[in-house]
Each structure stands twice: as C-alpha cells, then as structure tokens.
C-alpha cells in the first residue's frame, strides 16, 4: 500500500509518499480502507520529534480518519466487511489501509460523510467534553473562548450557542474574526486589543463571564481577570506558551475555579466515544453544528498540507485523501 512516511524528524520536506507493507489483520482488530484522514497540529509536533509518536522508522503520522472495513479479525463482533467507520485516536492513519482496534471503532451513519467525520471527531469530541464536562454550559451563561476561529473554537462556539449561551471570542486577525462571527460568536476581539477591559464590560452585570476556555496558556491569568466571582477557567492547551503559576489564595479570595482538560480522560471506553460521537452526529444532523468546508489535499501532497497548517492561514479542517 501507499503511505505518507518519514525516516527522520524535521520539516515538511522529510515526508515521503511511498510503498510500505499492508497492515496484517490481528485479533480484536479490523483493517480499514481509508477514505479521508484528518490532519492536526499534533502531527506537526510528532513530525518535528517533540511529541509522542508510535512505532519505529519509517514513521507514519495521523490518528484521525474514516473509511470502510476491508477485513475483520478474530474476536471482533458486530462489525462486518463493508461497514463505514471512523476513529479519532488510532495511529498510522496516513496510509491507504489502517489496522483499527475494535474498541476504537466509531460506526459511521449513512448520512455522515467520510469527510465530515474526519473533519469533526477529534476536535468535536474535545469541544463536546469542554461544554458538557469541564464546565456544563447552561442557557444564559456567558462564555469566553480563546482561539475562537480554530477548529475546536468554532465547534465549541456552536455547542455553547445551541445550549443558549452568549459567546465572546478572541482571535489574532480580522479574517479569523470574520470566521468566528460566522460560526455564531456574539462578539469577537483581537488579542492585540484591550480585551481584558472589554470582556467584563460586555457581560450582563459587568462582573465578567461565567467561564473562560483557555487553550493559549500564556493568557491564563488574563482569563481569570475577566471571569466573574464564582466563575471558572478551563485550561486545555498551551499554543501560546506555558501559563504562569496560579496562587490558590487567589482562587480562595475570588471563589473562582480552575480545571484542566484532556480528551483522553473523557473517552476511555468504547461506549463513551460512541455516545459522544453520536451526540455530535445528531448536532450536525439537526443543523446546530455546521462544519466549514475543509481544505483538501491528496495524501501524496502531505508535505504541502503540513506547510499550509504551519502557516496558520487555515481556519478550518485540513483533510488528506488517499
């Protein structure tokens, strides 16, 4: 089969599209012929060598995608050749065929395309636990979302709006501001503007928002500054650098809450990942979750896709098509 591989860490130029052996079927697994593959920033980090990576050279990136079952291994029940499936956390996805453990399989309804599933699952599952577990968003809540024009940011905005919340978003450029407003944010400001003054003033009582979702890290203390008394900050990423240490006395004095978030603590069982995925599919089906048009590259154009993602010019999902 063909796969996008690399033998040493480095820039996009290390990626090669070449023949490698097909994965062998094994107990508890299915072989999936890939139809669409999601590209994520974690793939950039893995290619550079500063993020956990499965296997030995030649390395194969990719953890998210969708396709059709081609083989079913011993011990697998309820899955058949020809079934449409998707996954969000299976390694070696940048290939024509992938071995997928039974417990990681997410059945794909006929009305959800391979491209939609590969655009939605990893970022959508993240947005889902953020809005339902890290902080349970309610009607009337006022929410601050960092990096609001990113993949998670756009989906989180829509999930919060569907629950009846108001959303204030932060982003880096005017073009991304437009994207965030189109996704449903009520107000959006740029990071270089005086948002720490504007957010409390925007809130209904002037005391600040109910919750801030911070994936930037270096903005953590500013997030606390714009959250109301008894409000919450959800910290789930460090795209802008490490956060400052948090003084627990500040939390005590303001009755504010800090919680962390990591997707893999929330999808630890097959039933959990299927339940959350089905919830996302339902949101898409009912029109409450609208997916932007992805940027599509052929798998052999993987290096070009990596360059595009690293340029920070993308606002939607990037897909690789075998």
Q: Which of 235, 260, 285 is the last residue of a domain?
A: 260
| Whether residue 6 sits in one domain with residue 93 | yes
Instruction: Assess whether 184 and 114 both reside in one domain.
Output: no
In a domain, 132, yes or no: no
Question: Are 291 and 229 in a shared domain?
Answer: no
DSSP state of 164: T
Boundaries of domain holding 111 = 2-120+268-321
- Tell whether 114 and 207 lie within a shared domain: no
**Residue 167 forms part of a structural domain:** yes
Do both 196 and 154 map to the same domain? Answer: yes
Q: Considering 229, 260, 291, which residue would you say is the last residue of a domain? A: 260
Work out the widest C-alpha separation in the chain, in whole angstroms: 62
Q: Is 133 among the domain residues?
A: no
3-state secondary structure 36-85: EEEECHHHHHHHHCCCCCCCCCCEECCCEEEEEEEEECCCCCCCCCCCEE
**97 within some domain:** yes
Q: How many CB atoms lie within 10 A of CB 122?
A: 21
At 243-254, the pLDDT tens digits run: 999 999 999 999
| pLDDT given at position 307 | 96
Closest CA to 82 of 110, 116, 124, 122: 110
Say if 83 falls within a structural domain: yes
pLDDT higher than 80, residue 313: no
Q: What global pTM score does this model have?
A: 0.94
**Number of folded domains that form the chain:** 2
Cα angle value 201/204/207 (rounded, 5°): 60
Q: What digits encode the pLDDT tens for the residues 276-299?
A: 999 999 999 999 999 988 999 999
pLDDT exceeding 90 applies to what percent of the chain? 92
Backbone angles phi, psi at 67, to 5 degrees: -175, -160
């Amino acid at each position: 089969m063909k796969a996008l591989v690399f033998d040493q860490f480095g820039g996009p130029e290390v990626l090669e599209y070449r023949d490698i052996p097909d994965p062998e079927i094994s107990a508890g697994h299915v072989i999936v012929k890939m139809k669409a593959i999601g590209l994520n920033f974690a793939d950039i980090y893995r290619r550079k060598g500063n993020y956990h990576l499965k296997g030995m050279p030649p390395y194969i990136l990719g953890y998210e995608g969708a396709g059709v079952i081609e083989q079913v291994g011993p011990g697998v029940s309820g899955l058949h050749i020809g079934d449409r499936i998707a996954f969000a956390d299976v390694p070696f996805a940048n290939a024509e065929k992938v071995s997928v453990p039974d417990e990681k399989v997410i059945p794909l309804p006929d009305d959800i395309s391979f491209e939609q599933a590969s655009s939605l699952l990893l970022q959508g599952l993240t947005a889902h636990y953020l809005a339902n577990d890290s902080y349970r968003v309610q009607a009337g809540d006022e929410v601050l979302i960092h990096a609001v024009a990113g993949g998670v940011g756009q989906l989180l905005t829509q999930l919060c709006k569907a629950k009846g919340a108001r959303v204030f978003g932060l982003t880096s450029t005017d073009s991304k501001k437009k994207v965030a407003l189109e996704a449903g944010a009520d107000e959006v400001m740029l990071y270089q503007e005086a948002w720490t003054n504007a957010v409390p003033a925007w809130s209904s009582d002037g005391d600040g928002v109910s919750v801030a979702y911070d994936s930037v890290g270096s903005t953590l203390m500013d997030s606390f500054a714009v959250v109301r008394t008894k409000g919450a900050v959800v910290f789930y990423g460090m795209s802008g650098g490490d956060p400052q240490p948090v003084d627990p006395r500040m939390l005590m004095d303001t009755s504010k809450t800090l919680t962390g978030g990591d997707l893999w603590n929330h999808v630890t069982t097959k039933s959990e990942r299927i339940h959350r995925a089905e919830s996302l599919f339902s949101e898409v089906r009912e029109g409450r979750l609208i997916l932007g048009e992805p940027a599509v590259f052929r798998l052999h154009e993987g290096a070009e896709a990596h360059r595009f993602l690293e340029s920070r010019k993308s606002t939607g999902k990037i897909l690789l098509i075998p």
